[in-house]
Amino acid sequence: MPITQYYPNLNNVNWVVNNAIGLQLILNITAQRKSLTYSAMCPSATPNWNANNNSCGVCPSGQLWNYNTYVCETCPTGTFINYKSRICSHHLYGVWETSLNAPNLIFNGISLAQYQSIQAKAAITYPGIAPCPSGTPYFDGFNCISCPPAFPFFSMQNQACTTCPAGSVYKANLQDCFNTLGIVHAYPNIGKMYSSVL
């Protein structure tokens, strides 16, 4: 009887790596294992693949699966998961902010005036704060980033790249997604966003 060759379910958002090399390694391993005969993605109930025994598991609530060590862990005190690098990192609040002149911003029903007020208060609290550069105009809490073509909009509320939900369109002059009934909130699916690089 053939043995199922599992690969990581990277749609699950509760996983980390130790560094950029670790991220590239797990992306490569996942792509390679997808091509194996009898391959299967770990199910959503047990999304974490363990290379030591080709099994799928799940971490206790509040813990993250580390794809470099194959153990459940928490981010060290004072750090948070950076969903782009998949590394536990320190937030860089007070250093950078999203430029309100950047294209493809989604306000999710919050007015431009409210965001301007928030940024004016931030300038008082953090006198050195600066808008992100035009090539990477969005601040995700860790770095200045650009959004990939599959997720071309940036949600100011969630500090993440996203798309407009099905059945809605982006209106640049209003900086939101709309359907025939009005504003449609665009919430990012972070797991899908970053697993789409495979």
User: Residue 162, exposed/middle/buried by CB under 10 A (0-12, 13-18, 19+)?
Assistant: buried
Site of tokens 């704060």: 129
pTM of this structure? 0.59
What residue type is assigned to position 28 of the chain? N
Task: Compute the distance between CA of residue 117 and CA of residue 140 in angstroms, rounded to an integer.
Answer: 19
Give the angle subtended at the CA of 64 by the CAs of 62 and 69, to the nearest 5°: 145
Section 171-185 average pLDDT? 89
Give the C-alpha separation, 171 to 105, whole Å.
Answer: 10
Neighbours of 74 (CB within 10 A): 14
Task: Note the pLDDT tens digit of each residue in 17-69.
Answer: 988 888 889 999 999 999 999 999 999 999 999 999 999 999 999 899 999 99
Q: Name the percent of the chain lying above pLDDT 90.
A: 54
